[in-house]
Amino acid sequence: MALSQAHFQRLVTEHGPTLYRMAYRMVGHAQEAEDIVQDTYRSAWKSRQSFRTGYSERAWLITILRRRAVDRWRHKPQPQPLSDPEGLDVAAPYEDPFADQYTDEMQAALARLSPELRECLLMVVVGELTHQETADTLSIPIGTVLSRVSRARKQLRKALLAVAED
């Protein structure tokens, strides 16, 4: 069933902040995150006929976002965490309640995780997908998702505690 324009606009409004947080955590750069979100919406609009009712809208959008981010990674090296706090000032149609969490320390700690651990953690924590939706999106067993998220949280906690002690 194809999405109507009104339904699509609701998706943009409802899921925009989550998609931006997810993209930012994946690439570590505000402008690139905005570009990925825009590419995600463009792709979603073009493929709106393929949306399956009964499937999570957020999972569908995050799957598209993930593909757009991977496409960018293939064409250039992954960016490093921002060191300029001014670079985080983005014009967005919504107020992000997590804006104060875009720190260099967090981004650096995430960058130290393996891609598999980081991806699972971001999908569950930032993307707010269920473990099952994450498993379905990545085509891996749910036990693998549970294990990766647990290991990622432990490694992230350890890295952030080490920074706090310095």
**104-152: pLDDT as tens digits:** 788 888 888 998 999 899 999 888 899 999 999 899 999 999 999 999 9
* CATH number, position 21: 1.10.1740.10
Residue 94 has pLDDT above 50, yes or no: no
Whether residue 119 is contained in a domain is answered as yes
- Identify the domain boundary among 64, 79, 94: 79
Same structural domain, 71 and 25? yes
Whether the Cβ atoms of residue 72 and residue 32 lie closer than 8 Å to each other:
yes
pLDDT grade, residue 93 (50/70/90)? Answer: very low
Local confidence band at 88 (pLDDT 50, 70, 90 cut-offs) = very low
Report d(CA 122, CA 70) in Å as an integer.
14
Q: Quickly state the pLDDT bin for 71 (edges 50, 70, 90).
A: confident
93/131: higher pLDDT: 131
Q: Does residue 94 form part of some domain?
A: no
Are residues 42 and 110 located together in one domain of the fold?
no
Domain interval for residue 114: 102-166
Whether residues 67 and 2 share a domain: the answer is: yes
pLDDT band at 36 (very low <50, low <70, confident <90, very high): very high
Type of residue found at 128:
E
d(CA 31, CA 44): 20
The SS3 assignment for 49 reads: helix
Q: Which of 46, 79, 112 is the last residue of a domain?
A: 79
In a domain, 92, yes or no: no
Nearest partner of 31 among 87, 99, 108, judged by Cα: 87
User: Quick one: 125 and 71 in the same domain?
Assistant: no
**Are 59 and 106 contained in the same domain?**
no
Q: How many domains does the chain have?
A: 2
The reply to whether 62 and 108 lie within a common domain is no
Same structural domain, 73 and 107: no
Closest by CA to 146, choosing from 159, 130, 160, 157, is 130
pLDDT tops 50 at residue 95: no
Verify that 126 and 159 share a domain, yes or no: yes
Q: Do 7 and 67 lie in a common domain? A: yes
Residue 85 within any structural domain of the chain? no
Mean pLDDT of 49-78: 80
